[in-house]
Amino acid sequence: DIMGFKSQDIEKFMEAEKDWEDVLIRFQDYHESWLSHGFFRMFRTFLSREGVPVRLLSLKDGERRLTNVLHLAELLHQASIEKKLGMGGLLKWFYSEMDPSTTRLDENQLRLESDEDALKVVTIHKSKGLEYQVVFCPFLWRLSVSVKEKALMFHDKDMVLNIDLDLDKSNPNRKIAEREILAENIRLMYVALTRAKTRCYLYWGLIKNSGKSPPSYLFHLKGTRDLFPQDAADARFREIDPDVALNDLKNLAEKSNKSIQVVNVQPVDKISRYDSPVEPRELALRRLSMPISTDWRIASYTYLISGATGHNETVERDVDLQEDVVITDHGTIDEMVDSRLDMFSFPRGRHPGICLHKIMECLDYSSNDMTYIEKLVGEKLLEYGFDRKWVRPIYSMIDNVLNVPLEHDNGSMRLSLLNKGDWLNELRFFFPIDRINTKVLEDVFKDNYDDFTKRLSLLGFRPARGFMLGYIDMVFSFNGRFYLIDWKSDFLGNRMEDYQGDKLMRAMEAHYYVLQYHIYTLALHNYLKMRLNNYSYKRHFGGVYYIFLRGVDPGHPGCGIYSDRPDVHLIERLGSALMGGKTLGEAV
């Protein structure tokens, strides 16, 4: 009901892939909003964009449902702030709170959806100026005169307010103060009784210590001219017989022209639980007769290799999957890195890799302004918690990446030659997958990559169908051709020789980057088919560049750069295998 989807609508998504893709894209936006700005901002955007309030309020019990949703959102927001929980931590907390054995806090109890039908408990002072259909006044007998342990406040004959701190019972000012208190309480009783529009219930009886209350004075003291009426009312209250008191009330009701009714409330020894008159139905477990499919999912490159690499699947952007300690032909890297400040000694691992990726994502490739680049690097290092001492090494790396020749034939293509609008960062893609498993991948690659195909058999992912999701770090155009780039922060060694030739290819195969860039090529191939008239893979697709940032050096051509232009028939074969024939047509 929150999304407004019926089972028929969900079934139609299997055919209307574009509509389903739109839904996935919206939810990916919500995912990114949660990660970037927190739960509550994401949830407010979700409610507005999906039209949830309007949809829920159109239902019969919509007000109740919307109140529940907003209450849950408030509790989740509060937990995320107080406990400093991220996405995973907040979900874990929510599952824990749903456990019936978890102790419930008062703020977690079900809220009333509207004050219109709610029972309001208010003080007489707060009810001034308000009206209610029905009013209950169960405690007016408590408005009894009491000045215990308080300063005496009263007005003299000139109506000047006096405060007397002498609390002795023999103080004559005490009776004056009590008389004014009775007068104020009578005014409060008037306010309480006149709040009702249709009916008012007032509870009264010979209750202990109520002799100086307004009901005692108004109902049972007749025609007194006593200087201190509170004492006269209290004396009458103490001596009155219950039957006489009831008769006083009945006389008042007779004079009210049937607007007052006196009802003798019978005492209740025990309040019993309310039992519904409807016989409870015998509940029966419904049995599901159809099999439940568990292979539908949104897959990614990370999902495909998670079983082989030992890394958990993530729905975030694919990141470099290197370990902290790398073994090379020369020993462990930790034994070889010296104290120099260069890209070989820059910290390794997931977090530094994300930092480098973000710098390359935010970089303006058309700018040669050294100050701008240093400022960008400094800001990102600070954002990710790294020392500014790394500004110069990373600036030098960027300068190398911008000016290294990328084309093997004449070396005319450099990233520094790009103009604004020539590139896209973090190009997200979805495409449907019919059914994918290791056997399918082996059959696709066996004719082109013999050694790599053997590594594919080591993948341990479960067969999947649904959609393939991914992000291409950068797509750019140059001289009418389109290229894709994936930035790699992997640490392969502290020598330039470790970032070229067979060693570079070994890293590409070890982390299954070969599989990754073929999936990315297929995604970009399909993207260009839909957006370019007369698109041709041979004419428009330039190739793939995997740039290992630590090892790029214009003085060593090709160092740190792996390039390929996959065979078009391999890409079409991969598309046909993954998408079950749902390709976008031949465009070779």
Domain boundaries of the chain, sorted by first residue: 7-108, 132-254, 296-337+418-579
- Can you read off the two tokens belonging to residue 26? 């919206």
Query: Is residue 579 within 8 Å of residue 434, measured between CB atoms?
Result: yes
Instruction: Say if 7-108 and 296-337+418-579 have the same CATH topology.
Output: no
- Please name the amino acid found at residue 253: A
What does the alpha-carbon distance between residue 238 and residue 215 come to, in Å, rounded to a whole number? 14
Which residue shows structure tokens 């308080």? 150
Report how far residue 467's alpha carbon sits from residue 20's, in angstroms, rounded to the nearest whole number.
10
Residue matched to tokens 């790398």: 326
H/E element holding 227? none
Per-residue pLDDT of the chain (588 residues; tens, 9 = 90+): 788 888 888 777 777 777 888 888 888 889 988 988 889 999 999 998 888 888 888 888 888 888 888 888 888 998 888 888 888 888 888 888 887 776 666 555 655 555 566 688 888 888 888 888 899 998 888 776 665 657 778 788 888 888 878 777 778 888 888 888 888 888 899 999 999 999 999 998 888 888 888 888 888 887 767 777 888 888 888 888 888 888 988 998 998 888 999 988 877 776 666 666 667 778 888 888 888 888 888 889 988 988 775 444 444 455 554 444 343 444 444 444 445 789 999 999 889 999 999 999 999 999 888 899 999 999 999 999 999 999 999 999 999 999 999 875 466 899 999 999 999 999 999 899 988 889 999 999 988 888 888 888 888 888 888 999 999 999 999 999 999 999 999 999 989 999 988 999 999 999 999 999 999 999 999 999 988 989 999 999 999 999 999 999 988 878 999 999 999 999 999 999 998 765 444 444
Structure tokens at 270: 């025990």
Q: Tell me the backbone φ, ψ of residue 563, rounded to 5 degrees.
A: -130, 150
Taking the C-alpha atoms of 180, 183, 189 and 190 in order, what is their torsion angle to the nearest 10 degrees? -140
Residue 366 DSSP label? T
**Within 10 A of 457 (CB to CB), how many other CB atoms are there?**
12
In 10 A of CB 570, how many CB atoms? 17
DSSP letter, residue 106: G
d(CA 551, CA 25): 35
Range 132-254 has CATH code 3.40.50.300: yes
User: Rounded to an integer, what distance in angstroms lies between the CA atom of residue 461 and that of residue 224?
Assistant: 95
Report which of 415, 385, 435 is spatially closest to residue 484, judged by C-alpha positions. Answer: 415
Q: How far is CA 552 from CA 108, 159, 496, 511, 562, in A?
A: 56, 94, 8, 19, 11
Would you call 332 exposed, middle or buried from its count of C-beta atoms within 10 A (0-12, 13-18, 19+)?
Answer: exposed
The residues pairing with 543 across neighbouring beta strands, listed in sequence order, are: 483
User: How far is 507 from 512, CA to CA, in rounded Å?
Assistant: 8
Element (H, E) at 87: helix 87-98
CA angle centred on 225, ends 223 and 226, rounded to 5°: 125
Burial of 542 (0-12, 13-18, 19+ CB in 10 A): buried
C-alpha 474/C-alpha 460 separation (Å) is: 29
Tell me the CB-side half-sphere exposure of residue 316, using CA atoms within 13 A: 12
Q: Helices (H) and strands (E) in the chain — how many of each? A: 20, 12
- Domain 296-337+418-579, CATH: 3.90.320.10
Contacts of residue 63, defined as CB under 8 A and 6 or more positions apart, other chains included, come to: 57, 113, 114
pTM: 0.54
Instruction: Identify the CATH class of 7-108.
Output: mainly alpha
Q: Which two tokens stand for residue 387?
A: 């020392």
Kindly state the helix (H) or strand (E) to which residue 61 belongs, with its residue range: none
**CB atoms near residue 488 (< 10 Å):** 30
The helix-helix angle for 513-531 and 501-510 (nearest 10°) equals 80
CA distance 476 to 396: 22
